[in-house]
Amino acid sequence: MKDDNFLRENNARHLWHPMAHPRDMQENPPKIITGAEGVKITDLDGNRVIDGVAGLWCVNLGYSNDAVKEAIARQLTDLPYYSGFGGCTNPMAIEASYAVRDFFAADGMARVFFTSGGSDSVETCLRLARQYHRLRGQPTRTKYLSLKRGYHGTHLGGASVNGNNRFRVGYEPLLPGCFQLPAPYLYRNPFDETDPARLAQLIVQMAEDEILFQGPETIAAFIMEPILGAGGVIVPPASFMPAMRTLCDKHGILMIADEVITGFGRTGHWSGSRHWGVKPDMMSTAKGISSAYFPVGAALMSDKVAEVFETAGADGAIFHGYTYSAHPVGAAAVVACLKETLRLDTAANAGPRGDQLFAGLQRLQDRHAIIGDVRGGHGLMAGIELVSDRTAKTPLDAAAIKRIHEATYQAGAMVRIALNNIVMSPPLVITEAEVDALLSALDAGLAAV
Ligand SMILES: Cc1ncc(COP(=O)(O)O)c(C=O)c1O
């Protein structure tokens, strides 16, 4: 291992960091995280803080789950890799497919296609949605509907349905035939609508207008996060996802629930869709599927979708896949992680701890005028929207938000900046005292500006 000074001086010399300017990373070196235990991380400078973001919305079990670590180590000894291509598979892949299918059986999911992460899972759903329609004799159904402020990863398909311009402009032209609806975002929406049910109605009406304008026979799928994460923890009105489900059915459009963040207990339910009482046609998952102990994701298909592929002729073959689809070590991580997720009943902890976090943030709003909006209250996903003027809702400038982020870290918690929001998604095993500590650190961070 290189010494500390070497690491500090060279961290961005050859390494390009995701979602960052390479020069900025050279001039303002990122934190070098060297260790982790429970829900806390340690950096090279010796700081030990609560990980208020679970890595990147993913380390749901925290950093010290021995059962998952041991399962991975065992699998590395038994079979470190074999491909799922060319008529081969491995025992752990089969077991993992049962574990994942069983986990989402109540959501109507029947089949599992393993990937290496969330972007892969989204891409898999988008591609298979087109193939599904082609197999049903509707090859003109190639377009996608999605939501502004939605985040669906960074592959070309995912970026095309993304609803945040920052992830799009440098990479255009993206896929043609992708249309974004306004986000079901109460705090800011084009209608200045503050009634949740009415806002949902307006956006669903816009969706139907767009579908009819494009021609329903041209639209393959609608994709949404049950709660929008990277867009700043936007919680849709309760009626929104069910109404979109009805609309998709009316026009023969597949509904893809992007559960990369919301799956596996984060919302206080085992899936975000279940939280809203919706059964999607496909689900993209990752993150909590292995609690990030190994890079894995999965695309899931309902019976309705599976049947079309499984009863098709030669065209039903899936010419899509990844070298690491159903990687045996990843599959072992999934089996162990889901067993632990159920044993620890992490969704049951996410509910009350999420309520505690949300209530604490509301108290902070009384003390800090820069908090324009507080969002959450549905498990362990929460966000505060920072403004310089509450009445005008002027977004707080980026430099001030960075100062709050750093001051919060120095006070004992890692949080995450998303646009002009600070978002939190701690491990689902976080305790009451640790949520209080996270809130105190954020309180101190907010006081810094
Ligand atoms: C909803 C959603 N979809 C897809 C992705 C992409 O996942 P990954 O970064 O694993 O490719 C993310 C990542 O945060 C996400 O939040």
Question: Please, what's the b/e burial string for 372-390 (b: 16 or more CB within 10 A of its CB; e: otherwise)?
Answer: bbbbbbbbbbbbbbbbbee
Mean pLDDT of 19-42: 93
- CATH number among 3.30.420.40, 3.90.1150.10, 3.40.50.11310, 3.30.200.20, domain 31-61+345-446: 3.90.1150.10
Quickly tell me which residue has 């309705």 as its tokens: 304
Helices (H), 42-104: 54-57, 66-78, 91-103
- Contact between 405 and 422 under an 8 Å Cβ cutoff? The reply is yes
Residue 1 has pLDDT above 80, yes or no: no
Residue 13: per-residue pLDDT: 85
24: left (phi over 0), alpha (psi -120 to 50) or beta: alpha
Confidence grade of residue 29 (pLDDT, cut at 50, 70, 90): confident
Q: Specify whether the CB–CB gap between 211 and 219 falls below 8 A.
A: yes
How high is the mean pLDDT of the chain? 97
For atom 7 of ligand 1, the residue with the nearest CA is 118
Plot region of 76 (φ>0 → left; ψ -120 to 50 → alpha; else → beta): alpha
> What is d(CA 132, CA 150) in angstroms, rounded to the nearest whole number?
24
Per-residue model confidence as pLDDT tens digits over 271-318: 999 999 999 999 999 999 999 999 999 999 999 999 999 999 999 999
Report how far residue 255's alpha carbon sits from residue 249's, in angstroms, rounded to the nearest whole number: 9
| Gap between the Cα atoms of 259 and 226, Å rounded | 7
pLDDT at 381 over 80: yes
Asked if the model's pLDDT at residue 8 lies above 90, the reply is no
Residues 6+ apart with CB under 8 A from 120: 153, 155, 286, 297, 322
What is the distance between the alpha carbons of residues 194 and 205, in angstroms, rounded to a whole number?
A: 17
- Residue 216's pLDDT is 98
* Window from 11-20, 106-115, 307-316, 415-424 with minimum mean pLDDT: 11-20
pLDDT at res. 250: 98
Phi, psi of 256 (to 5 degrees): -105, 120
The pLDDT of residue 262: 98
Ligand 1: distance of its center to the CA of 449 in Å?
31
Please compute Rg for the chain using Cα positions.
22
Query: pLDDT, tens digit, for every residue of 192-211?
Result: 999 999 999 999 999 999 99
User: Can you give the pTM of this predicted structure?
Assistant: 0.98
Going by C-alpha positions, the residue among 356, 415, 405, 414 that lies closest to residue 380 is 356
Confidence check: pLDDT of 127 > 90:
yes
Neighbours of 283 (CB within 10 A): 31
Q: What integer pLDDT is reported at residue 257 of this predicted model?
A: 99
Ligand 1 mutation target, pool 146, 154, 261, most atoms within 8 A of CB: 261
Residue of 116, 188, 189, 186 lying closest to 153 (CA atoms): 116
Q: Whose CA is nearest to atom 3 of ligand 1?
A: 152
Identify the band that residue 10 occupies on the pLDDT scale cut at 50, 70 and 90. confident
As beta bridge partners, residue 219 has 143
Is 389's pLDDT higher than 80? yes
State the distance from the centre of ligand 1 to the C-alpha of 119, rounded, in angstroms: 6
User: What is the CA(359)–ligand 1 centre distance, in A?
Assistant: 27
The pLDDT tens digits for 361-373 are 999 999 999 999 9
In three-state secondary structure terms, 191 is coil
Choices 3.60.15.10, 3.30.530.20, 3.40.250.10, 3.40.640.10: CATH for 68-343:
3.40.640.10
Task: Determine the distance separating the centroid of ligand 1 and the alpha carbon of 9, expressed in angstroms.
Answer: 30
DSSP code, position 228 = B
Task: Judge contact between 180 and 168, C-beta under 8 A.
Answer: no
* Predicted pLDDT at 122: 98
CB 221 within 8 A of CB 144: yes
What pLDDT does residue 392 have? 97
If pLDDT is split at 50, 70 and 90, which confidence band does 232 have?
A: very high
Per DSSP, the three-state class of 389 is strand
Instruction: Name residue 291's beta-bridge partners.
Output: none
Share of the chain above pLDDT 70, in %: 100
Where does the chain hold its CATH 3.40.640.10 domain(s)?
68-343
What is the CA(153)–ligand 1 centre distance, in A?
Answer: 5
How far, in Å, from the CA of 208 to the mean position of ligand 1? 27
Please state the atom number of ligand 1 nearest to the C-alpha of residue 286: 10
∠ CA(223), CA(183), CA(370), 5° rounding?
A: 135
Mean pLDDT of 104-115: 98
Residue nearest to atom 10 of ligand 1 (CA): 118
**How crowded is residue 230: how many other Cβ atoms within 10 Å of its Cβ?**
26
Ligand 1 centroid distance, CA of 225 (Å): 10
Tell me: the pLDDT tens digits for 146-172? 999 999 999 999 999 999 998 999 999
Q: Residue 25: pLDDT band by 50, 70, 90 thresholds?
A: confident
Residue 12 zone, left/alpha/beta (φ > 0; ψ -120 to 50; rest): alpha
Give the per-residue pLDDT at 234. 98
Domain with CATH 3.90.1150.10 in the chain: 31-61+345-446
Nearest CA to ligand 1 atom 8: 118
pLDDT at 199: 98
Pocket mutation for ligand 1, best pick of 19, 56, 59, 151 (most atoms within 8 Å of C-beta): 151
Q: Ligand 1 pocket test: which of 144, 273, 287, 296 has the largest number of ligand atoms within 8 Å of its C-beta? A: 287
Determine whether 177 is exposed, middle or buried from the number of CB atoms within 10 Å of its CB (0-12, 13-18, 19+): middle
The DSSP symbol for 420 reads T
User: What would the mean pLDDT of 116-133 be, rounded to a whole number?
Assistant: 98
In this structure, the residues whose C-beta lies within 6 A of any atom of ligand 1 are 117-119, 122, 151-153, 225, 229-230, 258, 260-261, 286
How close is the Cα of 114 to the center of ligand 1, in Å? Answer: 15
Does position 38 have pLDDT exceeding 90, yes or no? yes
Q: How many A from CA of 59 to the centre of ligand 1?
A: 14
